């Protein structure tokens, strides 16, 4: 539990210290896990999963950077690049696209790709364009060597189906689960739970990076949570490491980005969030470190 009154007091006294220590706490998790993996020298593939807006992509990149600092050659694969074209994705009874199930993925190609990497064969990785809703024209080649490590991240990364004849275990293929894990307690007694924090992150990410409106994001949220219960949580036990992606100062970021704009979108998922944000100070000219996980959800850098 994070007591927001303490964070506000520190932000007003020395904002840079609050930001530095929040970033340090997260980076320490990355370093601890990377150094443990490096010390064992047997890991060939790391599977990173977590629910929507948990910070999987940034965590994967930071983990890769740390391993590369130790001299390991790292390849990176996002399961998001194996989506089928949006116009071929099944429509749910609600009228929304079934984007969060394996039915939206080219599982055959993904499985072939991962098996090939583990067996040392060259593969061609596609890239999915979220704005266009289809596979882009450019690709990435991976030619794995014996001492390389491949990091695979995405909501289905812990699902055994995508590994084909291989499986997650504690020597050559390991699993990591990342998600916000702490509540924020506001002075009024209201709380922001991890699921609400992830919604705030997704609202901003969808706006900045995926061309979705706020109303679209809210309309999809219940379906997203249902898909997580079916496709992610049953496999959390396969993770060897668990990462908490909460940043102590992040409510300040969302207040600066959103202001009172949620007031125009009354919704069961925004009612509490709107009241909470009213208790958060609007601090201008915040500078978020370029390596921060929070940049995954906003434009990044300086928030004027």
What pLDDT score was predicted for residue 302? 40
Residue 58 confidence (pLDDT): 93
Quick check: 153 and 232 in contact, CB under 8 A? no
Whether residue 34 contacts residue 272, with contact meaning beta carbons closer than 8 Å, is answered with no
**Confidence at residue 210, expressed as pLDDT on a 0 to 100 scale:** 67
Identify the pLDDT of residue 186. Answer: 97
Residue with tokens 């921060």: 292
Ranges of each domain in the chain: 2-303
pLDDT reported for residue 303: 43
pLDDT tens readout for residues 26-38: 999 999 999 999 9
Evaluate whether 66 touches 35 at the Cβ level (below 8 Å). yes
pLDDT score at 304: 41
User: Consecutive 10-residue runs of the chain (304 residues): their mean pLDDT?
Assistant: 96 95 97 95 95 94 96 95 86 77 91 96 90 81 94 95 90 95 97 97 83 83 91 95 97 91 89 95 88 84 41
Rg (CA), the chain: 20
Residue-level pLDDT at 299: 67
Name the DSSP class of 58.
Answer: H
pTM score, whole prediction: 0.91
Among the listed residues 17, 92, 10, the one whose alpha carbon sits nearest the alpha carbon of residue 281:
10
* CA 101 – CA 234 distance, rounded (Å): 13
User: According to the CATH classification, is domain 2-303 in 3.30.1330.10?
Assistant: no
Going through the chain in order, the beta strands assigned E by DSSP cover: 2-3, 45-49, 74-78, 123-125, 128-129, 134-135, 140-142, 149-153, 173-179, 184-185, 191-192, 241-244, 286-287, 302-303
């Amino acid at each position: 539990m994070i007591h927001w009154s303490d964070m506000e007091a520190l932000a007003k006294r020395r904002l840079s210290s609050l930001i530095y220590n929040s970033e340090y706490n997260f980076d320490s998790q990355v370093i601890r896990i990377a150094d443990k993996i490096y010390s064992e020298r047997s890991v060939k593939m790391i599977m990173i999963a977590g629910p929507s807006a948990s910070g999987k992509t940034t965590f994967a990149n930071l983990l890769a950077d740390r391993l590369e600092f130790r001299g390991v050659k790292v390849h990176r694969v996002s399961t998001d690049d194996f989506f089928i074209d949006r116009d071929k994705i099944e429509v749910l009874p609600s009228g929304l696209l079934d984007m969060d199930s394996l039915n939206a993925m080219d599982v055959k190609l993904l499985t072939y790709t991962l098996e090939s990497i583990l067996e040392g064969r060259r593969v061609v990785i596609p890239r999915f364009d979220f704005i266009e809703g289809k596979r882009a024209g450019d690709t990435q080649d991976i030619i794995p060597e014996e001492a390389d490590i491949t990091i695979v991240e995405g909501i289905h990364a812990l699902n055994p189906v995508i590994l084909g004849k291989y499986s997650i275990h504690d020597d050559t293929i390991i699993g990591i689960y990342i998600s916000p894990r702490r509540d924020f307690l506001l002075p009024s007694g209201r709380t922001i739970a991890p699921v609400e924090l992830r919604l705030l992150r997704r609202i901003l990410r969808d706006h900045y990076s995926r061309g979705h409106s706020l109303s679209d994001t809210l309309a999809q949220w219940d379906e997203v949570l249902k898909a997580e219960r079916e496709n992610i949580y049953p496999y959390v036990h396969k993770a060897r490491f668990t990462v908490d992606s909460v940043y102590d100062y992040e409510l300040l970021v969302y207040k600066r980005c959103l202001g009172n704009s949620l007031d125009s979108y009354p919704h069961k998922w925004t009612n509490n969030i709107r009241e909470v944000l009213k208790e958060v100070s609007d601090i201008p000219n915040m500078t978020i470190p370029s390596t921060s996980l929070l940049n995954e959800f906003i434009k990044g850098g300086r928030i004027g």
